Amino acid sequence: MTQDELKQAVAQAALAYIETKLEDDTVLGIGTGSTANLFIDALAPHKGRIEATVASSEASAERLRSHGIPVFDLNAVDRVDFYIDGADEANRALQLIKGGGAALTREKIVAAVAREFICIADDSKLVHTLGAFPLPVEVIPMARSHVARELVKLGGDPVYREGVVTDNGNIILDVHNFAIAQPLGTEEKINNITGVVTNGIFALRPADVLLLGTASGVKTLYAE
């Protein structure tokens, strides 16, 4: 199976996972990226059953609206029942690296609100130790050099993501050569650097369930 077919399979599996749990007033949080896009497309034929969604990026909001799916501001809903999103890496504790598409901050906010975070990914994303994927850090533009120097002190190799401005008007530094042995501590440490908005480690709020696309079918993983 190709990577795209595995992503398609997990998008369908996420739909099946939530379908039996949908209530009249369910609020769905929708992530960002190629896997989340496939989920949005899979959701479209069922839009009559969707009362409200909130999106973790302008791109996803636009895609939802193009299907006629109602999108709300997060401040206009009192809860998010399920958050469905992809990841760049996941470990067995369902701690993640996210932000390859620069949407990490809004993703982290929606995930923080969500009652259940359902991560969907193909099996190339499952790793023993997070950090082979360069860690995205969203930074206030004027703090770029300061934050880069602090990230070097932490042992990483930050690279400015040229030409990318986040939905929040900020820039991204991708930290290379940075094995993350202690995701919780590292997430907090980087977030404590002045000028950092947030970083792409999701350990304070990991996923609740990982639907993993493999050649032998979609596996449902819970945190070990």
Ligand X SMILES: O=C[C@H](O)[C@H](O)[C@H](O)COP(=O)(O)O
Instruction: List the one residue out of 110, 70, 69, 103 whose CA is nearest residue 88.
Output: 103
- Rule CB under 6 A: say whether 103 interacts with ligand X: yes
Minimum distance of ligand X from residue 204's CB (angstroms):
16
From the candidates 89, 107, 138, 187, give the one annotated as an active-site residue: 107
User: Rounded to an integer, what distance in angstroms lies between the CA atom of residue 90 and that of residue 96?
Assistant: 4
Which uninterrupted H or E stretch holds 108? helix 104-113
In the annotation, is 58 catalytic? no
Strand pairing of 209-214 and 217-221? antiparallel
Beta bridge partners of 218: 213
* CB-count exposure of residue 6 (10 Å: 0-12, 13-18, 19+): buried
Contact between residue 75 and residue 181 where contact means Cβ atoms under 8 Å apart = no
Radius of gyration of the chain (CA): 17
Residue 145 annotated in ligand binding:
no
- Does residue 88 have a known ligand-binding role? yes
Residue 98 binding ligand X, by CB under 6 A: yes
Q: Between 146 and 219, whose beta carbon lies closer to ligand X? A: 219
Query: In 3D, which of 5, 4, 13 has the Cα closest to residue 119?
Result: 13
- Using the structure block, give the residue that is written with the tokens 């193909």: 122
Q: Is 81 in the site for ligand X (CB under 6 A)?
A: no
87 is in an annotated binding site: yes
Q: Does 33 bind ligand X (CB under 6 A)?
A: yes
Nearer to ligand X, 111 or 148 (CB): 111
Which residue matches tokens 């932000």?
A: 99
Q: Report the nearest approach of ligand X to the CB of residue 48 (Å).
A: 26
The response to whether 98 counts as a known ligand-binding position is yes
11 binds ligand X (CB under 6 A): no
Judged by CB under 6 A, does residue 158 bind ligand X?
no
Asked if residue 85 belongs to a known ligand binding site, the reply is yes
Interface with ligand X, residue 213, by CB under 6 A: no
Q: Which residues are annotated as a binding site for substrate?
A: 32-35, 85-88, 98-101, 125
Binding site for ligand X (CB under 6 A): 31-35, 85-88, 98-104, 107
As annotated, the active-site residues are 107
Q: Which residues are annotated as a binding site?
A: 32-35, 85-88, 98-101, 125
